[in-house]
Amino acid sequence: MGLFDLFKKEQNKAKPESNTLLAMPMFNDGDLCEIDKIKDNLKTFWNFEITDYSGDKNVAVFKLNGESVAIANMDVPIPWGDIEGTAQYAYNWPNVLESLKDHTGHAIVTIMDGQKGPLERFKLLSKVLCAILMTSNSIGVYQGSQSLLIPSEQYLKNIEELKRDGTPVFLWVYIGLKKFKTGNSAYTYGLKYFQKQEIEIIDSTLSLEDLLEFLGNIASYVIANDVTLKNGQTVGYTSDQKINITISKAQFVEGQSIKLDI
């Protein structure tokens, strides 16, 4: 089994019942990430201590805060079918297909199964990705499990939030937006990786922009505070705002979802 096959096998295992995390920075013109520069950035910018390191200029395995991390350069593009499938949701990257059609390679970044909770592990993944984006000409990040394609400039805007131990939810959870004659709708895709039910807002009078902000804030609150929203409860920005919570069959994702009546 080749290295590419090994990492593809790890990708297939990265389901909600596993806590393995995967992301793929992409590159043009034969560029790839430089392992030594990534190591230096993790040490000097993010103040990590790297332990149990082994690797070469293209592959590295090491530990950060007790969690096992792997980085592997792949001098082949991500299969175009995978890119196209995710690009249809990437309203945050309007020219995504044009930007990625000539990409020549990618890196596979893996946070292996570990003992820390999902929030700390996603923060770790994002810091490693930022180290790669800061030290290379990467054009963006592909996270297929969460239906995310994020251009590098947009990803790096979250550095300060990561530095202050914040919750940059849009790097981890996709917020889908739908416009119908009956109203505007929004949904999360990715809360399941934090062991939370997905959230949907159906036929709201709020604008799509307001729905994006509201649902992003709710998702961030749920993740950061390990909150479980329950049927029959209410939620709101203030003590006076009471948004009813129900749980029923999902409209935009699989299984059951939390519905917010707003």
The model's pTM: 0.92
pLDDT of amino acid 241:
86
pLDDT at residue 13 is higher than 60: no
Tens of pLDDT along 124-174?
Answer: 999 999 999 999 999 999 999 999 999 999 999 999 999 999 999 999 999
- Please state which architecture CATH assigns to domain 3-171: 2-Layer Sandwich (3.30)
Confidence class of residue 18 from pLDDT cuts 50, 70 and 90?
Answer: low
**What distance in Å separates the CA atoms of residue 121 and residue 134, rounded to the nearest whole number?**
20
The token pair that represents 38 in the structure block: 């990534």
The confidence score (pLDDT) of residue 38 equals 98
Calculate ∠ Cα 66-16-58, nearest 5°. 50
HEC sequence for the chain: CCHHHHHHHHHHHCCCCCCCEEEEEEECCCCCCCHHHHHHHHHHCCCCCEEEEEECCCEEEEEECCEEEEEEEECCCCCHHHHHHHHCCCCCCCCHHHHHCCCCEEEEEEECCCCCCHHHHHHHHHHHHHHHHHCCCCCEEEEHHHCEEEEHHHHHCCHHHHHCCCCCHHHCCEEEEEEECCEEEEEEECHHHHCCCCEEEEEECCCHHHHHHHHHHHHHHHHHHCCCCCCCCEECCCCCCCEEEEEEECCCCCCEEEEECC
- Token look-up 């082994």 returns 54
Give the pLDDT mean for 12-23: 68
- pLDDT greater than 60 at residue 107: yes
* pLDDT at residue 16 greater than cutoff 50: no
Contact 171, 161 (CB under 8 A): no
The full length of the chain comes to: 262
Residue whose C-alpha is closest to residue 70's, from 47, 44, 38? 38
Burial of residue 81 (number of CB atoms within 10 Å: 0-12, 13-18, 19+): exposed
Q: What letter represents residue 205's amino acid?
A: T
CATH 3.30.1400 in the chain is located at 3-171
Query: Mean pLDDT, the chain, as a whole number?
Result: 93
pLDDT at 14 over 90: no
For 201-258, how does the pLDDT look when each residue is reduced to its tens digit (9 = 90+)? 999 999 999 999 999 999 999 999 999 999 999 998 787 889 999 999 999 999 999 9
